[in-house]
Every structure is written in structure tokens, then in C-alpha cells.
Chains A and B, each alone.
Chain A
């Protein structure tokens, strides 16, 4: 059975094609201002990589903020259930999932069967999300990958008084003007992010094993600081790009239910 998941997020769109529970092809593109067009582009890319046609897909489930406008899906499911399902597949023992995407941060607690037991999402502001790191990396003039390496390279990360994206940005500029090393500033940004996320995680009463998905899980600095703050190891997906967790979950639901959904 060929199943597919299409995750139209606020920053990136992801497509995954699975054949009998194994990933056949994946694609990630920057989301456009039109969910239909993002969905078509990313799935066409995934289909092309898989060497097949759209008609070869038996069932496709959509997720993400743009899910209701994806024209070719048979069903949709929320990001929470898709990310939970995808994370459990990526890290089989995961009971708590921290997913940090472009504009939100979710903590999902799963039961033994992989069903969502409880979830929390950030509802105050964007400071605990990928957008925070993206803005800060731009101010520092480094790539997101490079920003992630800064925490390991310094013993004296700068403490940021505010995790508000706007105020922290002004702080970063001040520290740059004062001639502080990029590593210290970058490590401070990663710590600020981890601090913010740890509050959400602690509020969810996390159960081990904890895993992390979403684009921010690629930032080693954030992950390592978060591990220290939570006093617990964080497992990272190795079977696929952690950014694909939602789309993988959608494809798995499509395969499981025939027509997707949460049941």
C-alpha cells in the first residue's frame, strides 16, 4: 500500500510517501502564501523522487495549518496527532514528544499505545519557536546550522534578560556592538530558547523517554541545554529528518485507517 502525508506548515511544507510502512521518498520546500500551491509543489517533488505518479498513491492525509486547503487529500488530522504518531515511529520508545516548528512549540505526552494522552502548545508568543532562532541567526549573520554549534564552543554564554524576539534582537545587536564573541552570543540565544521550552515541557509532566522533533531539534545547542535543564536525555530521530515527523505521522495514519483521521 502506498500512503502519503502532506504537512503544510507556516514556514515549510513537507511531503512523505511510504510504501508498506517504509519511507519511499520525502520532500521539504518553503511554504508559499498559497497552501494549495505549496501542497502540490511538495507532493509533486516527493512523487518525482519516488519515481511514481500522484495516481499511484492509495491514500493521502493532510496536516499542518494549511491542511484544509490541500486539494488531493482524502482526510486531514491535527498536527498534534500526526506529530505524536510520527515521533513514536521515529523514536519507538518515546512517551513525550517536544516538537518545535517554525511558529509553535508543542509538547505531546503519549500513552503506551502511541495515542495522545495530553498536549500543550505555546500560547503566549513566538519566542519558544523556530522563528526566534531564525531571526537571531539572521542578526548574527550565521546559518541556523552554525548557530547550533556555538553552545559547544564556549564556556561563557551570554544571559539574555528577555526572550521576547524583539527585545532579544536588540540585546543581540548591543552585544555585537560591544564586541562579544559570536559563540558567546549564539550560545546565549540557544540557552534562552531552551529555557523557554523547558517551562512548557515541565508543565506537561513529561514521562521518559523524551524525544524531540521539528526543525529546532537539529540545533545541538538547544537540545543539550534542554537536556541539562530537564535532567533527562532527549532522543533525536535517526530514521528520517526530524522536520518530517508530522508528514510521516500523516502517512502512517493514512496507512492505518485507509482514509486517515485520528481513529
Chain B
């Protein structure tokens, strides 16, 4: 197993995508955790969540998006424009937020200037902001539209039983990720936040069966570790907007903390919530993706999300919470401020960080703030 370093799972996942492709498999990139990936699994298409990491220039992203917008979709477009996604057989834009919705039009527009960056299968998958009956009906029709489109484009058939099996396959991984958190509990404390997060990010890329196997082997190895490996460290939670790099968590852990929980888009949120396997698969997916979402894009769910954080803080014995959001993220930026207000009022120390997506910039000031935050709790 390649997990000698904390980045091992992500590296392994990237290699898996490459191998899948080399073996003639089809890969479709997508942008948001609201995509029912189970559908793609049935179509024998690998859903690989698009990442914008490793970008060192922003000329393409800035040209089509302009400056005052989240840097995550800009980095994705930068990579697309540079030809780094040329291996994709398709792209599904899921408008988790308005910046991500704009990625659809910016990518298409960039396609007029950069050759072959828009694959033939380029699908806009709508997701409602409410979990009301009428929005569920719409989401259901969007899933059906996606299925039909996949069937037509890739010449596959997506049957009900196949969907149930895919749901069971994904549920298995969700259950394992929930169990992975047991290693992070204060009474066990054998898994670092960096490792746990890397494993979660890997799950957004790797073929599902391989991921489940990999996760199982990893957990076997972790269960052999001596309990209390991270005892004596300040127990932290990292929450907020999209993040798929290990550096922020790594920095917090290098300063004497252990990130024992997270509520991040690429990381773990509500992994214990499974999709019903004994009911109509589309209705079950609709319920899971809309009702159980903990993303601030869903209207009217603040109290549920606050309650979730409180329960996680209690269960994982968290000393303090780091809220982070990518600059210009209205959804997380505003919700983080309210979370901070409410949790501080309960005596839970919080710090709020606004940053750019990708490799940590401004590390000097960021480090100073994290260090001062840790000092506050010691």
C-alpha cells in the first residue's frame, strides 16, 4: 500500500484514475458533492471529482471569470484550458453555488478559444436549493435526465437493480468512512487529520470497489497502531468551504494540534447517513442528497447544521474549531460568521480564516493566526 506519506492515498487515487483510463475505462469529471455518483457507477463511468490543485497561474481563469470570484472554479478552468483534463470523456457541472454555475458558461466560452477542452458530453446538472416536495420532484427529473443522457451518449443501460447495487456499493464506503472516524476519537486517537482527510479526498476520485478495498486495508493497518498516538494535542475541527489540499490541516497539526473532525466538502460530513437500499432508488437518492445535506447552499437548514457541529464537537471532544472559506464564498463566508458567533457563545473557541483555494498563500500570517488560536486553548 502506498501510504508511507500522508499524501499517499491521494497519489494512489490519481494513479488509479490513470490506470482506469489506460484500461479503456471512461472518466467523467464533476464539480460538486450533490451529484448522485451512483448513477455514473452503473453506467460504468468513473466519476472523478474535479480538483484545481497544482495551478500556479491564473491567466485563463481570470480571463473568463474576472477577479472577484472564488478561486476554486477558476483553478479548474485554468487546468481545463491548459489541457490537463484532456483525458476526460465528459464533464458534469453541478451548480453547488453561483461561481460553480458560472463555470459551465466560462468553460464553454473558453472552448471557443482553446481547442478540444469541452468534451462531447458536457452536462449541466441542476440541483435545487430547497428540499421541498416540488424541488425534490425537479431533482428527481434531473437525475432521470442525467441517466438518459448517459445512456444515449455512452451506449449503456441503467436499470433499477443496477442502481440498487451501486447504492449498496457506495453505502459500504460510507459506512467504512464513518468507522474510520472511530480511530480519531479521543479514546483511540491513532489517526491524524491529515491522513483521514487524504483518505476522504481519495474517495472522490478512485473507482469505488478499489476504494473500499484500499480503505479496508488502510483501516487494518491503523487498527494495529498503539492507541493514544496523538494524545496531548489540541483537538481541532476544520469546517467550511471547499478544500482538497492537505496543507491547512497539516499546518494546524504541525503547530501542536490534531484535526479530529472536519466538515468539509471534499472531506467527511455525514458519512453515516446511508441511502435506502430497499426502496425506489431515485427517491432514495433524492432524499439522501437533498434532505441530509449539510451544505449552506441549502436554504433554511442552519439550525440542523449547527446541531450537527455541536454533536460532532461533543462526540470527538473538540477543543476548538477552525472555520475556513475561499475568498468571495458568500455561502460559507456568511455561515461561518454565524457559526462562530453561536459556538463562541457556548464557550467553544473558534477562528475564522478567509483564503485562496489551492496551495496555501500568505502562510506567514495564516500560521501566526493558527498559532495564536492554539495558544488561546492551552
Residues of A with Cβ closer than 8 Å to B?
65, 77-81, 104, 115-119, 121, 123-124, 262-263
Contacts and interface: CB of A to CB of B under 8 A. Distances in A.
A80 B344 CA distance: 18
B372 A119 contact: yes
Given A118-B344, A123-B353, A123-B354, A80 B378 contact: no
A262 B365 contact: no
A69 to B, nearest CB: 12
B375 A65 contact: no
13 contacts: A78-B375, A79-B368, A80-B369, A80-B375, A116-B372, A116-B375, A116-B376, A117-B376, A118-B344, A121-B365, A121-B369, A123-B353, A123-B354
Contacts of A115: 376
Interface string B80-109: 000000000000000000000000000000
For the complex of A and B, 3 pairs with smallest distance between CB atoms: A80-B372, A262-B375, A78-B372
Contacts of A65: 364, 368
Contacts of B355: 123
A121 B344 CA distance: 17
Contact of B365 (A81, A116, A119, A123): A123
A116 B374 CA distance: 11
Interface string B345-378: 0000000011100000000110011011001101
Given A65-B364, A118-B344, A123-B353, A262 B378 contact: yes
B364 A78 contact: no
A79 B372 contact: yes
B117 to A, nearest CB: 33
Contacts of B378: 262-263
B371 A78 contact: yes
A108 to B, nearest CB: 9
Contact of B375 (A77, A104, A124): A77
A81 B354 contact: no
Interface string B322-344: 00000000000000000000001
B324 to A, nearest CB: 11
Contacts of B375: 77-78, 80-81, 116, 262
Contacts of A118: 344
B376 A104 contact: no
B327 to A, nearest CB: 8
Given A116-B375, A118-B344, A80 B365 contact: no
Contacts of A119: 369, 372, 376
Contacts of A77: 375
A124 B353 CA distance: 10
A167 B375 CA distance: 37
Nearest to A263: B378
Contacts of A80: 368-369, 372, 375
A123 B369 CA distance: 10
Interface string B40-51: 000000000000
A76 B75 CA distance: 37
A228 B369 CA distance: 29
A231 B378 CA distance: 34
B344 A104 contact: no
B337 to A, nearest CB: 9
Interface in B255-313: none
Nearest to A123: B354
A80 B355 CA distance: 20
Contacts of B368: 65, 78-80, 121
B43 to A, nearest CB: 43
A8 B4 CA distance: 37
Nearest to B366: A123
